Every structure is written in structure tokens, then in C-alpha cells.
Structure 1
């Protein structure tokens, strides 16, 4: 039961870690990059930027931090989980 919860959390972190800044996040206005560097249309629509204490800004920072800090550790964690499942499956 507890291991299943850990696997779900790891899957969610994997999903966040593989989000592409340029191809996906910038198009929906969730990029950590300044809007001018991403898409001029986003500036016109008022996407991105804004109040740094807003929930959206905090989620953007969380996504950016997970993408930067967890990529390398996730390789090891995923390998351990895959080996565990293959051996004790």
C-alpha cells in the first residue's frame, strides 16, 4: 500500500520533470521565462508574469524547480523501482 503511494508520487514527479518549457508550458502561459522571450502573443493576452506571490507564479516556480533539481535523481529512483518490479514484481 505504502509502496504504491510512493510509485504514484514518483510518476507525478516524472510527469512534471518531462514538461517542455518551449513546446508546452510557454504556449499555455506557464513558462518561467519572461513572456517577451517566449511568445509576443502571450504578452498581448496578459499571460505569464504578474504577481510573484500568486498561486500561478508559485506553481510555475515549483515546476521549474522540479525540472531542474529532480532530473538526475529521478534516473536513479526510476531504475531502482524498475529493478524492484522486475525482480519482486
Structure 2
């Protein structure tokens, strides 16, 4: 498989899918990344862990509907062009 732009786009879509399906209570809380662990004090700069938790929640919230469309387009392209 050659390193093409389509392969790079497909990789980004797969990583976004992986982030979108992470379940907070089933998976993230078991490794210590639940909702209660990411809370910092007032006026404190959020750490890297809190920022990653915020990114995961944002991707799950915002990208759920667009990912359905993007995955459908990728599947059709894969079926048509192999």
C-alpha cells in the first residue's frame, strides 16, 4: 500500500472514530481518566490530562453526526474504487 493522501485521510478518520467511541464509564474511568479526575481548581491552568479529557469529550459531542457521513462516503469510495 502506497502512502497517499487518501491513506492519510483514512488514518485521520480512523483515529477520530477511535476517540468518538471511547466510553467514559466503561473505559476511561478504569484507567483514571473519568469525569471527576479532570477537575482542577479555580484559576488553575488545566494540565495535559484535563486538556485531553476535554478534547475527547469535544470530539464525542461535535463529531458524532459528521463522522457518520464521512464514514459512509469512505465506504462508498472503497466499494467503488477498491
Q: Where on the TM-score scale, by shorter chain, does this alignment land: which range?
A: 0.7 to 0.9
Q: Which runs of 5+ in 1 are unaligned?
A: 36-46
Q: Is the 8 A contact 1:52 1:58 kept in 2?
A: no
Secondary structure (helix, strand or coil) at the match of 1:29 reads: coil
1:1-89 aligned at under 5 Å gives the runs 1-31=4-34, 33=35, 35=36, 47-50=37-40, 52-89=45-82
TM-score under structure 1 length normalisation: 0.78
Unaligned runs of 5+ in 2: none
Normalised by the size of structure 2, how large is the TM-score?
0.84
Q: How many residues align?
A: 76
Cα distance, 1:28 vs structure 2: 1.4
Aligned-residue Cα RMSD (Å) equals 1.4
CA distance in structure 1 between the partners assigned to 2:62 and 2:47 by the alignment: 22
Moved beyond 6 Å, runs of 4+: none
Kindly indicate whether structure 1 or structure 2 has the higher relative contact order, using CA contacts under 8 Å at least 6 residues apart.
Answer: 2
